[in-house]
Amino acid sequence: MTYTVKEIFKTLQGEGTLVGRPAVFCRFAGCNLWSGREQDRTKAVCQFCDTDFVGGTKHQGRELAEAIVDTWGPDRERRLVVLTGGEPMLQVDGGLIDDLHGRGFFIAIETNGTLPVPREIDWICYSPKANAKRRVSRFDELKLPFPQQRAMPDQFEHLHDRLLLQPIDGPDLGKNTEAAIAYCLAHPKWRLSLQTHKFVGIR
């Protein structure tokens, strides 16, 4: 298997339930809801993505797991890798999952949920997008970018008991954050999720 990866880096998880944990992020190239090119944004299913996932380098087979190990370092304690994108399930397969587990990693994934996710993944963060059909059947947290006019929280709150509302970044971040706070206060099933890595100036 050949994987195309935009970047691999070690940082602290900045979002969601695992916030604050050291992790290696492996960002895969490509997405099935947007090409990643600005000229296509207005016609994309997901129009608010703030991530560069275009291009990248090729990794053959176990080379990718070794690159992730090298990025983490020699310490085997509480190894965490976050597979993200783009949409990582366009590329993640059983071989990579086995290679990472064999090297002692707890595997988390951040997915738009439009593709099935293997049960062997340890932590699944499902991030719904409007007009995108859900195919993921099991997940550990639901992190909803907010607001989305055609993907409001009440459409999803029956799916899980770990519900996170994350303000969409961009020029309206302040307004979106105020709206998310107000929604969480009025609907206690939901917790506010902030992109803390951006506040403290890390990746």
Give the residue numbers marked as catalytic. Answer: 25, 31, 46, 49-51, 110, 197
The contacts of residue 129 (CB under 8 Å, 6+ apart) are 33, 45, 46, 112, 145, 148, 151
Q: Is the peptide bond before 86 cis (omega within 30 degrees of 0)?
A: yes
Return the amino acid letter for 48. F
Contact 65, 59 (CB under 8 A): no
Between the two ends of the chain, the Cα-to-Cα distance in Å is 28
Looking at the chain, list the stretches that DSSP marks H as alpha helix, in order from N- to C-terminal side: 63-72, 94-102, 173-186, 196-200
* Complete DSSP assignment for 141-181: EEEEEE--TTS-GGGTTTS-S-EEEEEPPSTTHHHHHHHHH
Distance of alpha carbon 79 from alpha carbon 104, whole angstroms:
6
